[in-house]
Amino acid sequence: MKVILLALFFILSCQSISAQIIVGGDKSIGNSELLSFPKTTATNALTDTRTDNDRGIILPAVDMRPSFVNKASNNGTFIFDKSSKKVLMFENGIWKELSQGSGDIGSLVLNTSAEEGNGVVIGADATSAEGVLVLESNNKALVLPHIENPHITVKSPYPGMICYDTKSNSLAIFDGAKWNYWR
């Protein structure tokens, strides 16, 4: 009987656990992140631009822009479109270009394996959004990797790489040819 009660207590306790995911480290900079990366800045102060990080997030490179069934739940989807050689974001039923001009796909490593499964959801048990990685939360956010001057710091950027530039306080996007910055 004690074993059954202990097992039941453990199962119920696990259902109420809320967690954060930290990639490549063991410390979070706060409790409002769903997914974060270490080595943000030296002091984590908003005015501190110094960081020794040189790694960003690589967006999925796709042959065709997805057409979503439930358009509203896919707002904020980012991709690297191989045909236009641009980074795109889905917003209100429209794919918006985040990189100007035409990028370069020469360094892309092609994925020839068949797509399987529905992707990974972080922050919820399920979602109506479609994607490889879906972050689903009412009160937590993705904290992009912080890089000071990515156009100088990142020696071999990959097409579709994104990060937060601590020097210009902007979203930095690499399209395979050049960096694009958004404030």
- In what side-by-side order are the strands of the sheet with 94-97? 61-62, 77-81, 86-91, 94-97
Please, which pLDDT band fits residue 177 given cuts at 50, 70 and 90? Answer: very high
Residue 71 in 3-state DSSP?
Answer: coil
Q: Is the pLDDT of residue 25 over 90?
A: no
Q: Output the CA angle 147-78-22, nearest 5 degrees.
A: 50
Least confident of 29-33, 72-76, 159-163: 29-33
Q: Name the β-bridge partners of 122.
A: 135
Phi, psi dihedrals of residue 95, rounded to the nearest 5°:
-85, 120
Q: Is the pLDDT of residue 19 over 70?
A: no
pLDDT in tens, 100-142: 888 988 888 877 787 777 788 888 888 888 888 888 888 887 8
Give me the chain's average pLDDT, please.
77
Please, which pLDDT band fits residue 183 given cuts at 50, 70 and 90? Answer: confident
Q: What percent of the chain has pLDDT over 90?
A: 26
- In what side-by-side order are the strands of the sheet with 33-36? 21-22, 33-36, 141-142
> What is the rounded distance in angstroms from the CA atom of residue 161 to the CA atom of residue 166?
16
The two tokens of residue 82 are 């191989």
Query: For position 2, what pLDDT does the model report?
Result: 46
Residue 139 in 3-state DSSP?
Answer: coil
- Residue type, position 71, single letter: K
Nearest to 133 by CA among 179, 89, 78, 88: 78
Query: For position 42, what pLDDT does the model report?
Result: 56
